[in-house]
Amino acid sequence: MTRFAYSTICDDVRQEVNGKMSYMGVYQGNMLCQEFPLQLPKLCIGITVVTPIERPFESLNFKGSFDGELLFEMSLAKDQIDTALEATVAFRPADAKFRTIQVMMVMSPIAFSKAGEFKIEVDGDGEAIRCNGLSVQQAPDGMTLVV
All structural domains of the chain with their residue ranges: 4-138
Q: Return the pLDDT at 144.
A: 79
Rounded to two decimals, the pTM is 0.90
Question: What's the whole-number average pLDDT of the chain?
Answer: 91
d(CA 140, CA 137): 9
d(CA 21, CA 15): 5
51 or 94, greater pLDDT: 51
In CATH, 4-138 is 3.40.50.300: no
- pLDDT tens-digit series, residues 121-146: 999 999 999 999 999 999 998 887 76
